Amino acid sequence: MNDLQHLEALARYVSSLDATTLSAQTRETARACLLYGLAVGIATKRARPAKLAESASNLDSGGAAATRLIDGVATSRSNAAFANAVLLSGRVQGDSHPCGHIGGVVIPAALAAAEQTGASGNEFLSAMICGYETALRIGRDHGADLSLRGFRTTPCYGVFGAAIAGGRIQNFDHMKMQNVVGLAANFAGGLREYVDAGTEESPFQAGFAARNGLHVTDLVACGLVAARSALHGKAGFYAAFGGERDDYGRRLAEGLGTHFEFTTVTFKQYPACQFLRGIIRGLASLHAQAPDAVPARIELRMHPYEANFIGVRFCGPFTTAAQTVMSAPFCAALAWSTGTASFDGLRDFENVEVNELAQKTAIVADEGRAKYEPVMRVVCTDGRTLTWEEKGGDAGYRMNWEDAVKMTRQLCEEVAVRREIADALIDKVTRVAELQTIKPLIAAVCAATCSE
């Protein structure tokens, strides 16, 4: 197949996808993504970006088509999608894939579109799966090059997912779905400069992607026709946001109906960069094994792509969470010092022990390390050397229902949400495909975000 045929095949598939026809395991993974994403949003309710999005959406609250999850306020569909995407993305703990944190964009867009139209739970779940799958398939062979150019994967691919989810809710045929992809390519964007600057753009990029994706859906519904070559053309998305390769979309339609890329997304135990999961876990484990040890030096050996990624080597001074959540030295020092990397710990910029230890931490770009498989060495003042190695890459963090439930309870407990409220949310997500509308699901989320 040529590029346009790949796109047409994908468009045909997502225009007719029905979650009820998928395997039980695939549906369970989709529910796990949904539950985990909503739980991360609940745990983000006290974060500054969520409050800023709430305030901004109050300035333009026309209409009452959808619900803002942080406070249960009825607002416009666009405002709900924007504010809810910021909420699900403001903690830096959303589901992860080399293409970004797509759930933080797709779930809010699908929720807002489904609530506005009165769609059923199964229609919502089908749309969510379509959004995930399209975004990840567009980005899976392109994301590394896009990132190297300074763009951020989450909003660049998320806008495709949000638009496709909105189109699926409106039962678009395959021709309209191709228009959705073509038009969404024009609204992709988002830069990584905020990491070096230590500023707060990151979650708002997800908000704009969710909102813009739904605007794409509206324009296509009204008859706008976009370039079918907007992905693959000489001046298209892949060329503009990537390198000189001409095969970025070669797997766009590969394995449709048999392989679901969204089933490879992972979760995070910690609200920090996905590259640092193993580092945090490893340093915490090493200190637990040798609680009396005093590090003279910490060495972190990482795949070069990760070691040289923007923000990973930064060792201070730290003034914002945008710096700490990306910094391998800070996260390693924090994990050694406290046994974890908590939301509050990542915002304790004046912690003397952590800052001093971060200065003793070296990052080594090691061609021999696979991605997501760092190795840590702690050289202690008494001469001991402690070593911990991550094995198995990100496969050990693949999203599944058991871990999604565990993380939901953990995140809800962190922000003092009562166990029965968390359990009610878990129940609604378990039965989401049976719901006549998604209002009970939204009510369960709001019960958690609005609880004191």
Q: What does the alpha-carbon distance between residue 271 and residue 299 come to, in Å, rounded to a whole number?
A: 22
What is the tens place of the pLDDT at every residue in 22-35? 999 999 999 999 99
C-alpha to C-alpha distances, 381 to 293, 298, 329, 384, 407, nearest whole angstrom: 8, 11, 18, 7, 36
Return the percentage of the chain with pLDDT > 70, whole number.
99
What are the tens digits of pLDDT across the range 112-122? 999 999 999 99
Rounded Cα distance, 399 and 102, in Å: 13
Could you tell me which of 84, 55, 11 has the C-alpha nearest to residue 449?
Answer: 84
Topology of domain 3-268+398-449, per CATH?
Answer: 2-methylcitrate dehydratase PrpD (1.10.4100)
Averaged pLDDT for residues 282-307: 97
Lowest mean pLDDT among 48-62, 85-99, 314-328, 427-441: 48-62
* Span 363-387, pLDDT tens digits: 999 999 999 999 999 999 999 999 9
Place of tokens 């999608």: 81
Other C-beta atoms closer than 10 Å to the C-beta of 413 total: 13
pLDDT tier at 16 (50, 70, 90 boundaries)? Answer: very high
Mark out the alpha helices in 17-102 (DSSP H runs).
Answer: 24-43, 48-58, 77-89
Q: According to the model, what pLDDT value does residue 57 have?
A: 76
Considering the entire predicted model, what is its pTM?
Answer: 0.96
CA distances from 331 to 345, 348, 351 (A): 9, 12, 12
Select from 87, 85, 80 the least CA-distant residue to 58.
80
Domain with CATH 1.10.4100.10 in the chain: 3-268+398-449
The pLDDT of residue 266 is above 90: yes
CA distance 424 to 441: 9
Find out whether the peptide bond into 317 is cis, omega within 30 degrees of 0.
yes
Give 141's pLDDT tier (boundaries 50, 70, 90).
very high
pLDDT > 90: percent of the chain: 93
pLDDT(60) > 80: no
Mean pLDDT of 244-261: 94
Fold of 274-390: 60s Ribosomal Protein L30; Chain: A; (3.30.1330)
> Mean per-residue pLDDT for 212-235?
95
Is 261:133 a contact under the CB 8 Å cutoff? Answer: yes
Q: How far apart are CA 98 and CA 140, in angstroms?
A: 7
pLDDT class of 61 with cuts at 50, 70, 90: low
Give residue 244's pLDDT: 84
Q: What confidence category does residue 64 fall into, taking pLDDT thresholds of 50, 70 and 90? A: confident
Which ranges in the chain are annotated with CATH 3.30.1330.120? 274-390
Q: What confidence score (pLDDT) does residue 51 get?
A: 83
* Statement: residue 146 has pLDDT above 80: yes
Query: What was the pLDDT predicted at 306?
Result: 97
pLDDT in tens, 157-190: 999 999 999 999 999 999 999 999 999 999 999 9
Which 8-state DSSP code applies to residue 363? E
Predicted confidence at residue 54, as pLDDT, reads 84
Stretch 237-259: mean pLDDT: 94
User: Which pLDDT score is estimated for 392?
Assistant: 85
Residue 336 contacts residue 284 (beta carbons within 8 Å): yes
Q: Which of 320, 319, 300, 322 is nearest to 311 (CA)?
A: 322
